[in-house]
């Protein structure tokens, strides 16, 4: 069976890399003594599959992990015990058994919703920047790919932008960013918008197909993002 886990990554642990988070989970799974399936061969590894990598320095309450198991376990047991086995700031919020044939997170997630603090820019000024960006035909950004600089156009992946009002000494930007043809990092979005990047939090990952949209695993209650800090 495959178990899908939704977890949050908040606070100081946001500075931990995606690779180190994977190691945290491997250790926690061993300590919990779950019947995790392993690959075959000379150097067996636990069969874990993460969703889209979260940029270092960003928070999230919508991270996902698929775990292959040799035998069934109760999702309720995972949600009630796992947070105590993980570092402070990494918390399990939901778990569910996946139906047979369910697709991988990397292949299915089509967009992500972000809440991004924009320091020293009021809601009115942010609205003007948003209008200019959404009206642009091209949003070029230079990235490094295979050791070489490559210029990509972010505009097809910037699906929606809006101002959610004041946030600390600035404003809160809400962005929906597509994952195809290439994903957009909050730092890259801030670069093409000409704004300073504050604290960025991923609040949702979305799967869209045939006009419908849903999350890989919804929480039992609606997420409530509270922004009380200055970004």
User: In the predicted model, what is the mean pLDDT of the chain?
Assistant: 89
- Compute the average pLDDT of residues 177-202: 94
In this prediction, residue 163 carries a pLDDT of 95
How confident is the model over 127-146, as a mean pLDDT?
94
Q: For residues 81 and 32, is the Cβ–Cβ distance under 8 A?
A: yes
Which residues does 32 contact at the CB level (< 8 Å), separation at least 6?
A: 81, 82, 85
Question: What pLDDT, on the 0 to 100 scale, is given for residue 223?
Answer: 41
- Tens digit of pLDDT for each residue in 198-224? 999 999 999 998 888 899 986 654 343
Q: What is the mean pLDDT of residues 127-138?
A: 96
Q: All domains of the chain, ordered by start, with CATH?
A: 2-103 (3.30.70.580), 109-214 (3.30.70)
Lowest mean pLDDT, pick from 38-47, 53-62, 112-121: 38-47
Summarised one tens digit per residue, pLDDT across range 58-80 is 999 999 999 999 998 888 888 88
| pLDDT for residue 166 | 93
pLDDT at residue 229 tops 80: no
Q: Is 102's pLDDT higher than 70? A: yes
- Segment 137-144 mean pLDDT: 92
What is the Cα–Cα distance from 60 to 39, expressed in whole angstroms? Answer: 29
The dihedral through the CA atoms of 182, 183, 185, 188 has a sign that is positive
Element (H, E) at 197: none
- With residue 81 as reference, give the H or E element that holds it: helix 75-81
Q: Would you place residue 83 in the very low, low, confident or very high pLDDT band (cuts 50, 70, 90)? A: confident
Percentage of the chain lying above the pLDDT 90 cut: 66
Average pLDDT over residues 21-45: 88
């Amino acid at each position: 069976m495959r178990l899908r886990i939704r977890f949050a990554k908040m606070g100081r642990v946001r500075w931990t890399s995606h690779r180190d988070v994977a190691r945290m989970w491997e250790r926690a799974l061993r300590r919990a003594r779950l019947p995790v399936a392993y690959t075959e061969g000379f150097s067996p590894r636990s069969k874990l599959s993460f969703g889209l990598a979260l940029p270092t320095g960003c928070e999230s309450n919508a991270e996902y992990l698929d775990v292959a198991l040799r035998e069934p376990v109760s999702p309720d047991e995972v949600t009630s015990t796992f947070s105590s086995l993980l570092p402070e700031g990494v918390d399990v919020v939901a778990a569910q058994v996946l139906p047979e044939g369910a697709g991988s997170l990397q292949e299915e997630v089509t967009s992500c919703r972000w809440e991004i603090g924009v320091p020293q820019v009021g809601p009115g000024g942010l609205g003007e920047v948003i209008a200019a960006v959404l009206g642009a035909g091209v949003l070029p950004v230079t990235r490094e790919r295979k050791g070489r600089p490559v210029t990509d156009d972010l505009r097809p992946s910037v699906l929606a932008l809006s101002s959610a009002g004041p946030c600390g000494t600035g404003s809160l930007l809400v962005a929906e960013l597509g994952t195809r043809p290439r994903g957009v990092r909050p730092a890259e979005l801030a670069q093409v918008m000409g704004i300073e990047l504050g604290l960025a939090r991923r609040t949702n990952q979305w799967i869209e197909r045939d006009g419908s949209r849903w999350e890989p695993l919804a929480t039992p209650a609606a997420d409530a993002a509270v922004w009380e800090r200055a970004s």
